[in-house]
A = this chain, B = another copy of it.
Amino acid sequence: MGKKIKPEIEALLFSAPEPVQAQRIARYLKTTESEVKQIINELNEDYANEGRSFYIREIAGGYQLYLKGEYGILVREFHRLEKRRLSKGALDILAIIAVKQPVTKRVIELIRRASSDRILHNLLELGLIKIVGKSQGTNAYLYATTEKFLQTFGLKDLSELPSKEELERMAEYSGELFPKKKDENYEQ
């Protein structure tokens, strides 16, 4: 029994989307809470002996697999460098700049109704937008998209962004069983 239950407890913790109570594990695996806790201790001993980079942490009334603190900086830096992903907020700002460029921060913030400094800074750093000048009246920076922006989104040029008509057609996606008029654009 003991041999089988150990990897089972590990499996439950490995796959858990939140901390799991020892009692719940015990009930599910038909054993006692104290045995579960003992096996968790054994697992932690194994991990320490084998030089694993993680451990089982008692937290929020339950148990959860955690990376050891000493690897925190290494890991966070690695994922920060991961530039393949953007936040929704960044995409929103890119969308606004792409359509309205050249555009000032004020206009962006008026459309988005949220402050945009941090994200604009990140987008500049990522090379997805650039400053193309200053607005005449207010002396504020004007932002525009870059070549890298086009590459990132697989566009040949800005004219490939959907037009207003295309945007509207897209909203009707599930109604296109019969095109309203027979036009060549149907099915593109």
Point out residues on A near B: beta carbons under 8 Å: 3, 6-8, 10-12, 14-17, 28, 46, 50-54, 67-68, 71, 74-75, 78-79, 81, 104-106, 109, 115, 117-118, 120-121, 131-134, 138-141, 154-156, 160, 173-174, 176-177, 187-188
Contacts and interface: CB of A to CB of B under 8 A. Distances in A.
A67 to B, nearest CB: 6
B53 A10 contact: yes
B8 A115 contact: no
Contact of A11 (B74, B105, B109): B74
Contacts of A117: 173-174, 176
**Oligomeric state, in copies:** 2
Given A12-B74, A139-B188, A53 B7 contact: yes
B134 A156 contact: yes
A129 B176 CA distance: 20
B118 A6 contact: no
A67 B104 CA distance: 44
Given A28-B81, A117-B176, A120-B173, 16 more contacts: A3-B51, A8-B71, A8-B74, A11-B53, A14-B53, A15-B81, A17-B79, A104-B188, A105-B187, A106-B187, A109-B187, A117-B173, A131-B154, A133-B154, A134-B155, A138-B188
Contacts of A118: 173-174
A107 to B, nearest CB: 10
A51 B6 contact: yes
A11 B54 contact: yes
Contacts of A138: 188
